[in-house]
Amino acid sequence: MKDWVIGVIGGSGLYDLDGLTDRRAQKLDSPWGAPSDVLVTGEMEGVRLVFLPRHGQGHRLPPTDINARANIDVLKRAGCTDLISVSAVGSLREELPPGTFVVVDQFIDRTVARPSSFFGPGLVAHVSLADPVCPVLSSAAASACRAAGATTVEGGTYVAIEGPQFSTRAESELFRSWGCSVIGMTAMPEARLAREAELPYASVCMVTDYDCWREETAHVEVAEILATMRGNAETARRMLGELVRALPQTRPASPIDSGLDRAVVTDPAVRDPVLVAKLAGICPRLFSPDANG
């Protein structure tokens, strides 16, 4: 058994994982509310996987109503050491046609209605988000995408919008002028929260369409997106198999594993005990009842 527990957050089109052995459903409670769905755990190629459909089975949750804090919390409580996010996106670049897989390395957050931190009054922390993904995990994911047969681009900027509407043409052109590569509605605040939970995170983005900047395909239709999405989802499943097969037997330590050691600024004597208790799931080393904090 390899020394990894990979959490997989499945986006639009990826609502389940095939090929898991010792498959089980696991329902975990979170002090942050209800996660998107029950977790599905199992093994693949000697690696334990924990799968969570971001939108819930049947795609019942719109982007704004996804409880990202609860999702990250239960994945950490389930023992995940690393997270792979799989999401459907629109392309902001001519050279990124539908069917391309983009393993992004930067984000611009344009969401406005979602809690974006586990911390708050009574316990303040400031994690570094200069490099919001794990370079080692992202490189492994990109290699796995290629091995699965996907046209793969390594690196790029994901702009996250609130949704659920697609962007206007003016917005799309603005995001292009900023140098963004792809556009989606779910990677933020998910990536922020993964960093606060000390979980190395990689974001595999499956291009389903050109965003509306491209006049030849300006009017995005959900039916067209769904057709591309189905093909992308099959490739994503193969990608995960390739990824876990290629992982080394022993997971190397990552600086992200202990990122909160350098981020928490509130004196232990004045920390809010209620918030401390809620944070025990994302970092038991610092916030469990027997931690020295």
257-292 pLDDT, tens digit each: 999 999 999 999 999 999 999 999 999 999 988 775
Q: Which residue has the tokens 């979980």?
A: 199
Helix axes 187-196, 68-77, angle to 10 degrees: 40
Residue-level pLDDT at 38: 97
- In the structure encoding, which two tokens stand for residue 41, read together? 């755990």
Cβ–Cβ < 8 Å for 7, 84: yes
Domain ranges of the chain: 5-287
Q: Which fold has domain 5-287?
A: Rossmann fold (3.40.50)
Question: Nearest-CA neighbor of 189 among 70, 90, 101?
Answer: 70
Q: Is the Cβ–Cβ distance between 156 and 182 less than 8 Å?
A: yes
Average pLDDT over residues 7-15: 89
d(C-alpha 153, C-alpha 101), whole Å? 6
Is the pTM higher than 0.85? The answer reads: yes
Q: What's at 80, amino acid-wise? A: C
* pLDDT average, residue stretch 117-126: 98
Lowest mean pLDDT among 139-143, 154-158, 217-221, 250-254: 217-221
Cite the active site residues.
209, 211
The Cα 273–Cα 155 span in angstroms is: 40
